[in-house]
Structure 1
């Protein structure tokens, strides 16, 4: 019964947030979501490795290990839960992007963004607020675009933080 209520709350919150994009182009939201596709992480890591001598190399190795751990865990969880995406299940909603796969739980974009935000904040604490704000916006963008429920985003955040924390514990 509680799980059913949680699911209803999750769906209701999804609708409330997703309706904010009604009849809009959502270019900025789509752009924000695309910054979480992964290319930016690699560029940041390479730039820090090349130009920042104090922490850059360890930052890159920690991030690479974290993503190497996060991706298989993310894929296993997607295939365990097999939660249909809201855009494939719900009506009266606004979809602004084609999802990259079939299932929604957890949000991979959110997991990767929070993983990067945690690692950035560990090595470069002055950028923590910026990194966490950016990760939050990526998660929100996935709901606004119609491809994830809020709980998917929270699960992605938890996955990213857990993997980042573990990776830092192993390497840093």
Structure 2
């Protein structure tokens, strides 16, 4: 039964990647998607947002939470889960494919770009409701770029989304527990 489930997951993953390659691949996206994915490299876009928040006194605490969430999602996704699952990336699976970016050397599941993007987008959406669609759209585009560039399977992206959301929720829960214990925390999370 376990092998049957894995087989179905592989069929789904390969079908989606094949469909993206067949129906979405074009010269314009070939230029755009490496740029979009670069925004997620080491969380650079989210670090930039955190720096902007940290430099703006009323938003410093939110900047701190963004950095903390990015750190937690990286440890969980890149540091722990990837090394437990050890899934080979689609571009390293014996298929001869021309990559538009450098070949990643880490494991595939979960997508670190996706988990960090959805973790931080979740935090930012809590504080800046009016921009929620923008934050989630950026996270989604970064995740989609990983599929388009053939460096992740769809289930890597789904896992990254789940881990990212769980990391952002966990950070809020931990900060609430700390603030309830009368430990000095300069903010209250709602």
Pairwise CA RMSD of aligned residues?
1.8
1:147, CA displacement in angstroms? Answer: 0.3
- Is contact 1:96-1:146 (8 Å) kept? no
- Segments of structure 1 that go 5 or more residues without pairing to the other structure are none
1:111, CA displacement in angstroms? Answer: 0.6
1:93, CA displacement in angstroms? Answer: 4.6
- Measure, in 1, the Cα distance between the counterparts of 2:48 and 2:128: 16
- Measure, in 1, the Cα distance between the counterparts of 2:57 and 2:20: 39
* Counterpart selection for 1:40 from 23, 26, 45: 45
TM-score normalised to structure 2 length = 0.82
Higher mean displacement: 21-30 or 115-124: 21-30
- Measure, in 1, the Cα distance between the counterparts of 2:38 and 2:46: 12
Corresponding residue of 2:33: 29
Which structure 1 residue ranges, 4+ long, deviate > 3 Å from structure 2? Answer: 22-25
- Measure, in 1, the Cα distance between the counterparts of 2:8 and 2:56: 50
- Is contact 1:94-1:145 (8 Å) kept? no
- Measure, in 2, the Cα distance between the counterparts of 1:149 and 1:112: 17
Structure 1 residues 10-57: Cα deviation after superposition (integer angstroms, max 9, x where no partner): 11111111333266671211111111122221221121122251xx12
Corresponding residue of 2:99: 95
Corresponding residue of 1:164: 168
Which SS does the other structure have where 1:35 is aligned? helix
- Measure, in 1, the Cα distance between the counterparts of 2:106 and 2:11: 21
TM-score normalised to structure 1 length = 0.90
Are 1:16 and 2:19 an aligned pair? yes
Corresponding residue of 2:184: none
- Measure, in 2, the Cα distance between the counterparts of 1:146 and 1:5: 19
- Segments of structure 2 that go 5 or more residues without pairing to the other structure are 176-188
Corresponding residue of 1:155: 159
Corresponding residue of 2:55: 50
Structure ranking higher on relative contact order (CA contacts 8 Å, 6+ apart): 1
Are 1:68 and 2:71 an aligned pair? yes
